[in-house]
Chains A and B, each alone.
Chain A
Amino acid sequence: MKREPNKFEEAGQVLLQEINETGDEPTTQKRSLWSAIAIPVLAILTGLIIGAVLVAATSTSVYEAFEHSFGEGLRTIFIEVFTAYKALFTGSIGDPAKISNALGSGDDRLIRAAFNPFLESLVQATPYIFAGLAVALGFRSGLFNIGVEGQLFIGAACATYVGYAITGLPFIIHMPLAFLAGALGGALWGFIPGLLKATTGGHEVINTIMMNYIAFRLTEWLLSGAMTRPGSGGMPISPLIQESAQIPQFFQSPIRFHLGFFIALGVAWLVWWLLFKTKWGLNLRTVGANPRAAKYAGLSIGKSYAIAMAISGALAGMAGGVQILAVNRSMALGLSSGYGFDSIALALIGNNHPLGVVLTSILFGTLRNGATRMMVVSKIPVDIVDVMQAIILMFVAAPAIIRSLYRLRKPKQEEETAFVSGWGGGQS
């Protein structure tokens, strides 16, 4: 892990190069950094402002206060919004007061507890990273993989099976084996629509959606049949995985922070290396950016699509595997709360770049984690939190709104964004 920051620095530069004009002078670097993050930052800000309006508008106490007097109403709005956002912050990053107290006391347990909200955000971010990478790699290769959710379920099922059914292996073999099984399961589930596209031209959007349904029902059937936990009384839940298959958590319960987060960072680096440093990656990206030119250059477009879908599926499978092996330790149907679908938005926000995906995943994990706390403390219904998240996403996904709202100039340069050429797929 020691070399990690170095390489991410490099990745960051590559990101800037790819997103922006590659000026040699440092001034353009600085400007390009701002233009790279301006949209997400302003989108989040706008989302929070609109969220505040929502919080105020849906709170009964605000209306009661307004009946009393206008000033009272404004005051209540301020208190409500402040409480909510404070809870969001302390729930996802941590309470600054608690942290400084804990650090002052020097008590290990207190320190860990104070940092737990942030660590929990990273736990939430981990499956997002894998799933986001899956979508991003697909987009870069010219594929819209909507099937991440299904690939995640299949991956989770495979990891679970290897996790509980094989006994007597040492940790050093069993855990990686179970994780790899997850990746393989996802890869298979992605490869099928990839192969269909390569051989028959069947559109991956439709086929991956259908593969999702098959995956959901298949895992349900497995969990209530072949893979069901003895004595669960018909509940669709798998046996607990062996201890030797578990991805270790670093601290005692309730802190769930685990090795999987670092595996995710490593895999993100690997995906970046694959996409931008190897000839295979250039192959995938060329087909993604211009299939006709790829054909002219002598590449096999079908092969590239099939391989890309398999890799994308493998990454999605890892998202399922890591949740099982590190957090849940057994499989139930509520495994994913839409990681696969959120990751589409996430990958787009991250400009389909591994570093962007990692950063956006941490943002998503933080929001999701903080929202829980916000719900508990300020009694804001979870629906409002969902709506706020959706608004932030909409702003990020539609940069034109943010640009016109804040009068930002359109980037002059055409960026290397991977995109799917319309829903029709364009390429055959």
Chain B
Amino acid sequence: MAPILELKGITKQFPGVLANDHIDLALNKGEILALLGENGAGKSTLMNILYGLYQPDEGDIFINDEKIVINSPTDAIDAGIGMVHQHFMLIPVFTVVENIMLGQESVKFGDFLDRADASKKILEISEQFNLPVNPNDLVRDIPVGIQQKVEIIKLLYRQAEILIFDEPTAVLTPQEADELFDIMRSLAKQGKSIIFITHKLREVLEVADRIMVIRLGAVVGETTPQQADKNSLAAMMVGREVSLVVEKETKVPGDIVVSIRDLLVTDKYQNIVVDHVSLDVRAGEVVGIAGVQGNGQTELVEAITGLRKSAGGQVTLMGRDITHATPRKITELGSAHVPEDRQMDGLVLPFPTAENLVLCTYYKKPFSKGAVLQYQIILEHAKRLIHDFDIRTPSALTPVSNLSGGNQQKVIIARELSRPIQFLMASQPTRGLDVGSIEYIHKRLVQKRDEGCAVLLVSPELDEVMELSDRIAVMFRGKILAIVDSQLVTKEQVGLMMTGEIPEEGFHANENRVVERTF
């Protein structure tokens, strides 16, 4: 049978970059094809060509053996191609039904919207593909996972046969991601064809029928989950052997650096979001906080770093009370913070890389003399860090907004880790990064730990927490459920605790497993 979609020799040249280099791709009906590649490999360009946002310089697109030209997303939709974008294209203040029918409205009596008719169609689709939504909910009131389902229904509503998912799991919790994979499988089973863009190896191996790997704009190989494993895929993707396991030696931790006692944080509605948390972080150890996103980790981090006022309890750093200290004071006492949202909090995007590298220290010697900034020194400092931390940037004066996500994160890592620090607060340090960058950043964090720094790591990626941490604190609904030795628990046990359950059995069987427990 002929493939439903075929791309032949697609080439796209941007100034200075060959984004797509004669890419051939065939998608069969009812198949899930994973497009794997690092950030900037050219996956998104290819899909944007398919979706009509870019025109290829060379190459043809065939649908059911018929050559077509796609000039706009409208053409793509007419050809039965639909795309679920990484950032959803929904209008928050509209209801689900309004969002879905937008652009293809059901009408009655001329021009009046027929919401009931549209709702009926939506519910049919929702039933058929197991995508439960309530058509009358406002989009802003429903969780991200459901919003994604709305996006998918939107495509099915427009009779899309080919569905493109662009990094769909970036915004999802692990549970929501698993649910999405089920949906994708069921869509494929019912004859829809799916292109799944990602750089996450686990997902590819789990859900894809066939895997195409793209590097530097060209297809470097094709395989199947049966033939491949994480290591071989990573090597194809990055072009060299990548160590996926963090190497670190066991160390005896030193003195307590950060001590959190009974910390209480409330949100603006006075709801308790961090509920009497107590935790110590010692010199030379990584304490990982595991938990599904939204269980108080963000607020905990903000309270520790002085960005948010706490409602009770105490935080000390090297024996000094920092509970109500300003962020600057905390920084000056020898703490560093890799923030959760690098673009919003960690960087000033329009500013040059060099200025971002002194964001927390520019006012001090040697970067300022009196009131005057010493740009010579700031530039030299930047050049040194760019070299030491392998930041890929055209120059130290390039606005940091022009850097790739991985390199932006390296700017933050370089800035925070190059200072003499006793405490490092790393919040989702590898979010949205590709394998190569993750490997690098993990190495740096472990190196800092080995130098005797106390590291507190927060990540919703359980793998990351398991691999990096010496001890793991599991957070659920603002509380720390348990603090366990990472060597003595399995991933499954921690995963279960993240859902709020304590696996009493296993824990009682082996007293050593529970290092500390707080309730």
* A interface residues with partner B (beta carbon < 8 Å): 17, 21-24, 277-283, 285-286, 289-290, 292-300, 412-417
B397 engages A277 (CB within 8 Å): no
Q: A296-B346, A297-B360, A417-B350 are in contact. Are A282 and B395 (CB under 8 A)?
A: no
Q: Which of B73-129 contact A (CB under 8 A)?
A: none
Beyond the given pairs A292-B345, A417-B350, 4 more chain A to chain B contacts, judged by CB atoms under 8 angstroms and listed by A's residue number, are: A286-B348, A293-B346, A293-B359, A414-B399
Q: Is B507 an interface residue, CB under 8 A from the partner?
A: no
Contact B399 A279 (CB under 8 A): no
Asked if A17 and B397 sit within 8 Å, CB to CB, the answer is yes
Q: How far is the CB of B366 from chain A (nearest CB, A)?
A: 12
The answer to whether A298 and B348 touch (CB under 8 A), given A279-B363, A293-B359, A412-B15, is: no
Instruction: From known contacts A296-B307, A297-B360, A298-B328, infer whether A289 and B348 are also in contact, taking CB-CB under 8 Å.
Output: yes
The 4 closest A-B pairs by CB, nearest first: A298-B328, A416-B350, A22-B397, A298-B327
- Subset of 22 A-B contacts with CB under 8 Å: A22-B352, A23-B394, A277-B373, A277-B375, A278-B372, A278-B373, A279-B363, A279-B367, A282-B362, A285-B351, A289-B349, A290-B344, A290-B347, A290-B349, A292-B345, A293-B348, A295-B327, A295-B345, A296-B359, A297-B360, A299-B328, A416-B399
A279 touches B359 (CB 8 A): no
Q: Is B326 an interface residue (CB 8 A)?
A: yes
Complexed CA–CA distance, A290 and B372 (Å): 22
- Say whether, besides A279-B362, A298-B360, A286 and B339 are in contact (CB < 8 Å): no
The residue of chain A having its C-beta at the shortest distance from the C-beta of B332 within the complex is A298
Q: Is B401 an interface residue (CB 8 A)?
A: yes
Closest to A294 in B: B348
Q: Are the CB atoms of A413 and B402 closer together than 8 Å? A: yes
CB distance from A255 to the nearest CB of B (A): 39
In the assembled complex, the Cα of A285 lies from the Cα of B348 at a distance in Å of 10
B371 within 8 A of A: yes
CA distance A412 to B394 in the complex (A): 14
From residue B253, how far is it (CB to closest CB) to chain A in Å?
Answer: 28
Chain B 298-334 against A: per-residue CB contact (8 Å), 1 yes, 0 no?
0000000101000000000000000000111101000
Query: Does A289 lie within 8 Å of B397, measured CB to CB?
Result: no
Specify which chain B residues have a CB less than 8 angstroms from the CB of A299 in the assembled complex. 328
Partner of B402, one of A292, A414, A417: A414
Q: How far is the CA of A24 from the CA of B331 in the complex (A)?
A: 35
Q: Which of B259-298 contact A (CB under 8 A)?
A: none
B449 proximity list for chain A (CB < 8 A): none
Of the residues B307, B351, B367, B373, contact of A295 by C-beta under 8 Å: B307
> What's the interface size class on B, roughly?
35 or more
Q: Which of A17, A278, A297 has the most CB of B within 10 A?
A: A297
Nearest chain B CB to A186 CB, angstrom units: 22
CB neighbours (8 Å) of A277 from chain B are: 372-373, 375
Asked if B398 is at the interface of the complex by the 8 Å CB criterion, the answer is yes
Q: Main SS of chain B's interface residues?
A: loop
Chain A residues in 8 Å Cβ range of B186? none
Contact check, B345 vs A293: say whether CB atoms are below 8 A apart: yes
The residue among A278, A295, A298, A417 with the most chain B CB atoms within 10 A of its own CB is A298
| Min distance, Cβ A388 to any Cβ of chain B, angstroms | 33
**Chain B positions within 8 Å of A283 at CB level:** 363
Given A290-B349, A298-B331, A414 and B401 contact (CB-CB distance below 8 Å): yes
Does B337 belong to the interface (CB within 8 Å)? yes
Q: Name the CB-closest residue of B to A414.
A: B401
- In the complex, which residues of chain B have a beta carbon less than 8 angstroms from the beta carbon of A21? 398
- Which of A24, A297, A413 interacts with B399 by CB under 8 Å? A413
User: Closest CB-CB distance, B332 to chain A, in whole Å?
Assistant: 8
B351 touches which of A280, A286, A298 (Cβ 8 Å): A286
B368 in contact (CB, < 8 A): yes
Residues of A within 8 A of B31 (CB): none
B355 CB–A CB distance under 8 Å? yes
Cross-chain contact of B345 among A17, A281, A296, A413 (Cβ < 8 A) = A296
B447 to chain A, nearest CB (A): 24
In the complex, A286 Cα to B346 Cα: how many Å?
A: 12
Contact check: which of A279, A292, A295, A415 meets B350 at CB < 8 Å? A415
Residues of B within 8 A of A24 (CB): 395
Chain B residues contacting A293 (CB-CB under 8 Å) are 344-348, 359
A414 touches B349 (CB 8 A): yes
Q: Which among B326, B331, B363, B401 has the greatest number of chain A C-beta atoms within 10 A?
A: B363
Choose among B350, B371, B395, B397 the residue with the greatest number of A CB atoms under 10 Å from its CB.
B350
How long is the Cα–Cα vector from A413 to B326 in the complex, in angstroms? 35
Q: Which of B327, B349, B352, B402 contacts A297 (CB 8 A)?
A: B327
Return chain B residues, CB-CB under 8 Å to A298.
Answer: 326-329, 331, 360
Expressed in whole angstroms, the minimum distance between the Cβ of A282 and any Cβ of chain B is: 6
Residues of B contacting A415 in the complex (Cβ-Cβ under 8 angstroms):
350, 399
Chain B nearest CB, measured from A296 CB (Å): 5
B-side contacts of A297, CB under 8 Å = 327-328, 359-360
A145 to B102, CA, bound (A): 39
Which residues on A sit within 8 Å (CB–CB) of B371?
278-280
Contact of A22 among B326, B373, B395 (CB under 8 A): B395
Assuming the contacts A290-B344, A292-B344, asked whether A414 and B363 have C-beta atoms less than 8 A apart, the reply is no
Rounded to whole angstroms, the CA-CA distance of A295 and B337 in the bound complex is 12
One of B15, B337, B363, B368 near A296 (C-beta < 8 A): B337
Chain B, 373-396, contact with A by CB distance < 8 Å: what is the 0/1 string? 101000000000000000000110
For the complex, give the distance between the alpha carbons of A299 and B306 in Å: 12
B403: min CB distance to chain A, Å: 11
Of listed A279, A289, A294, A295, residue having the most chain B CB within 10 A? A279
Residue of A nearest to B328 (CB): A298
Contacting residues, chain A, for B326 (C-beta < 8 A): 298, 300
Q: Within the assembled complex, what's the spacing in Å between the Cα atoms of A286 and B301?
A: 22
B194 to chain A, nearest CB (A): 33
- Give Cα A17–Cα B379 distance, bound, in whole angstroms: 14
Q: Which residues of B contact A416 (CB under 8 A)?
A: 350-351, 399
Contact of A286 with B373 at beta-carbon distance under 8 Å, contacts A24-B395, A279-B368, A292-B344 already known: no
Give bound CA distance, A22 to B337, whole Å: 29
Query: Is there an interface contact between A296 and B339, defined as CB atoms closer than 8 Å?
Result: yes
Query: Given A279-B362, A279-B363, does the pair A296, B351 have CB atoms closer than 8 Å?
Result: no
